[in-house]
Amino acid sequence: MSLIKSISGIRGTIGGKPGDGLSPIDIVKFTYAYCATLPTRKPQPNGEKYKIVVGKDARLSGAMVENLVIGSLMACGVDVVRIGLASTPTTELAVTFAKADGGIILTASHNPRQWNALKLLNDRGEFLTAAEGQAILDLAETSVSLMLTTSGTSPNTTTPTSIWMPLWLWKPLMSRLSRTLISRLYWTQSTRSAES
């Protein structure tokens, strides 16, 4: 298993333990960190909702990753423009055409089919700056790792309280979510094979 974190996003092989591969937990925490840094990158003085474009390539894991990303965005109160199958340049242009506040491209480009990735865009449909990308990486690592090690007490004020939940609730929730998504992905692949 492999997980690569960089300022342009994260990519890795699907599955495995969190932090070792691109697991559902990694997808949720990096999507959350992307949302949590939106006000820093693009303040909304009148409290308008943010809008994010999500596009994906044709990888088998695309539907699972897309559902996790979109669900996480919606849980953060973000409006989502789901464009489905789209190339990287198409998704970049969709951000500007939709007048969105950013975008997430689900593609591992040249990597083998067992890989997938979240590539993060700003409101101009461009990849984030090094500082913006580093802020997301830092938040994803500190807020969620603190949350996972804190049991029964509220985290300190530097940790977003909206993502905190007790460890006894978080682990079974993520475990069940992982099993459900993997079984649905397997069922979808089995159904497609049977139809061929």
Catalytic residues: 109
93/66 Cα distance (integer angstroms): 19
- Rounded Cα gap, residues 21 and 11, in angstroms: 8
Give the Cα-Cα-Cα angle 102, 159, 78 (nearest 5 degrees).
25
In sequence order, the 6+-apart residues with CB closer than 8 A to the CB of 179 are none
CB crowding 74-98: b at 16 or more within 10 Å, else e: eebebebbebeebebeebbbbbeeb
C-alpha distance from residue 111 to each of 11, 87, 107, 115, 120 (Å): 9, 15, 9, 6, 17
Question: What element of type H or E holds 62?
Answer: helix 62-75
Q: Which residues pair with 4 in a beta bridge?
A: 11
